[in-house]
Chain A
Amino acid sequence: MTLSLFALQLLNGVEYGLLLFLVASGLTLVFGILGVLNFAHGSFYMLGAYLAYWFAERTGSLLLAMLIGLPLMVLLGLFVERFAIARLYARDHLSQVLLTYGLVLLFNELQRSLFGNEVHGVATPPLLAFRIPLGDQAWPAYRVLTAFACLAVAAAMRQVILRTRFGMRVRAGASNAEMVEALGIDVRRIFSSLFAAGAALAALAGMLAAPLTTVYPGMGEDILIVSFVVVVIGGIGSIKGAFIGALLVGLSDTFGKVLLPGFSSAIVYALMAAVLVFRPRGLLGQPA
């Protein structure tokens, strides 16, 4: 492997890892704070990608498609929280898994009825349809933008959680929701906005990924399972853990595809198995 190919794979791995982080952070936030394991999280990613495709096709602009699509996904998130997730707060894991699994089936059917079963390509915005030379390789500018967009979102998320009143209430609600409620804060509203934010993060990742991966049925399940691996590696409920886990998975998957073609998917799971053996609660997970 030449140095420039190595650098290219490194950048691709980081970029894929950052996209994974957008999905996994929503998953881990919703579990850490609402206590619900949401299998339909991958569906938000899938619906985001389909909305990006559908609106980009009609408006001719991916950016415009995102600006229309994201509010729609926030609304969908609020709706799903209100009518399904809110009923799960006091229920056991089995009910959570099954109800959100039922949602996955409904969303898949929605996708099939609205957009059909074909694979759709989404054009890279013309402004970004060039490549940045990298030795004898070239890095697509769109991937650069994706990586930076994800980094910006991650930084913004950190600021919101650590520095704002809303973030403070989220953290307080996570450690003791009853106490926060007793102090006169509407925890239910915090929960629903948090869930909607998680849905929007996943949808944003799907929208950003649409030109890179194409848009296809089943993309939600694929990303959901990789996000699970990320969360297990990083430690559930930990945003920092999700960040580290996402980068590890992104890099090992990208390099695996080059170095061990045919076994690339197995590498990610081997990584998970190794973490389970040595740190069963994840790299940054809290001890039981």
Chain B
Amino acid sequence: MTVPLRVRALLIAGAAALLLVAFSHDRFWLQFLGKAMITCIFAMSLDLLVGVTGLVSLAHASFFGIAAYLLAGLSNRFGFVNPLLTLPLCLAGAALLALAIGWLSLRASGVYFIMVTLAFTQMLHYFFNDAPGFGGSDGLYVNQRPQIGPLDFSNRTASYLAIWTALVLVYLFLSRILRAPFGHVLAGIRGNEQRMLSLGYPIGRYKLVAFVLAGSLAGLAGYLDATLYGFVNPAQFSWRQSGVLLMTVLLGGKGTLYGPVLGALLLTFVEHYGEQFTSHYNALIGALIIAVVLFLPGGLAGLLRSARD
């Protein structure tokens, strides 16, 4: 995957601008853009499955949600506040769940895979909504945000800087992976599974590793989300969350990494201002999804590319 030079310049300028916002100390923008950057991480992690490997997964909300609930549990039940402890534990939880769901779902392929991943997500949604001790549909507060030395997540600027760092690291990590042989195998699986199989690649294992990796990064997004807002709720497991995220990836341009980042930023703005502008906000999103599928299948990244030619 090569990133066009003008896109690279745009990304660096964007990252620098987002970094500058950290010093504005403006409550609204720190939270708003913090959320937008978390969605970027979340969308990029799904892009590894949807855009790169060609696996349309609707289970991604599960890994986001499980990490968020784990943080709430670790903080409320055990009083763990050290992120060096809670972050690895939450990511491990997300990875384990991804391993279980991935192992089962990847036995199916094509539309089966889509339906199965949706069904498991919904199961977790019902579980966290109904099981006692998880706060029901209201969810849970994270009583104490993670804190270590000068890095205190209840400080908005510090938490914003941590999210920014995570975003940059995840982007660099994923683009490194896509250039590595591993990424090429995944792209090969998307292109032609049978060919990769006959070339001797254990494609099942590759897909599972990609699924677990993407699930862990979704967990990172969920962890950051719980630290930013300080509360978690079962809606994070909803199929709405998975569906809108899938749309974010397509809107931005699947398989490009920077596309989903653009999609996530754009959609966060649409979401925020759309809600103020109309009470029929869901119809707006629905119409937007349909329009993108019909008229802009390459997404924003496709627009950027064709503008160059």
A134, CB-defined interface residue at 8 Å:
no
Q: Determine, out of B208-216, B220-228, B243-251, the stretch whose residues face the partner at the interface.
A: B243-251
> Which residue of the partner chain, among B56, B110, B131, B287, contacts A102 with CB atoms under 8 Å?
B287
**Closest chain A residue to B249 by CB distance?**
A94
Main secondary structure of the interface of B (DSSP, over half): helix
Q: Closest approach, in angstroms, between the C-beta of B70 and any C-beta of chain A?
A: 20
Q: How far is the CA of A103 from the CA of B287 in the complex (A)?
A: 8
Q: Which residue of A lies closest to B250 (CB)?
A: A98
Q: Using A98-B243, A104-B286 as known contacts, list a sample of 12 further A-B pairs with CB atoms less than 8 Å apart, ordered by residue number in A.
A: A95-B250, A95-B297, A97-B243, A99-B293, A102-B247, A102-B287, A105-B286, A109-B280, A232-B116, A276-B104, A276-B105, A276-B107
List which A68-106 residues lie within 8 A (CB) of chain B. 84, 87, 91, 93-95, 97-99, 101-106
Of A49-57, A188-196, A262-270, the one contacting chain B is A262-270
B238 smallest CB distance to A (angstroms): 9
Interface SS, A side: helix
Contact of B120 among A97, A99, A236, A269 (CB under 8 A): A269
Among A102, A112, A269, which residue has its beta carbon within 8 angstroms of that of B123?
A269
Report A's interface with B, CB cutoff 8 A. 31, 37, 84, 87, 91, 93-95, 97-99, 101-106, 108-110, 112-113, 221, 225, 228-229, 231-232, 236, 262, 265-266, 269, 272-273, 276-277, 280-282, 288
How large, as a class, is the contact surface on chain B? Answer: 35 or more
**In the complex, residue of chain B having the shortest beta-carbon distance to the beta carbon of A235:** B112
- Which residue on chain A has the smallest CB distance to residue B51? A94
* Chain A residues near B254 (CB-CB < 8 A): 94
* 22 residue pairs A–B, Cβ–Cβ below 8 Å: A87-B294, A93-B111, A95-B293, A95-B297, A98-B243, A98-B250, A101-B247, A102-B285, A103-B290, A106-B287, A109-B286, A265-B126, A266-B123, A266-B126, A272-B116, A273-B104, A276-B104, A276-B105, A280-B108, A281-B112, A282-B112, A288-B109
Known: A37-B111, A113-B280. A277 touches B104 (CB 8 A): yes
Q: Are B110 and A272 in contact (CB under 8 A)?
A: no
B119 touches A269 (CB 8 A): yes
| Bound form: Cα–Cα A269–B125 in Å | 12
In whole angstroms, what is the CA distance A218 to B174 when docked? 36
A105 touches B104 (CB 8 A): no
A97-B246 contact in complex given A106-B286, A109-B286, C-beta closer than 8 Å = yes
Q: How far is the CA of A105 from the CA of B291 in the complex (A)?
A: 13
Cα–Cα, bound, A93→B108 (Å): 14
CA distance A101 to B127 in the complex (A): 23
Chain B residues with CB under 8 A of A99: 289-290, 293-294
Among residues of B, the one whose C-beta sits closest to the C-beta of A27 is: B115
B90 at the interface (CB under 8 A from A): no
Complex CA–CA separation, A225 to B105 (angstroms): 15
With beta carbons under 8 angstroms apart, the residue of B109, B119, B293 that contacts A272 is B119
Q: CB of B282 within 8 A of chain A?
A: yes
**Chain B residues, CB < 8 A from A288:** 109
Residues of A within 8 A of B275 (CB): none
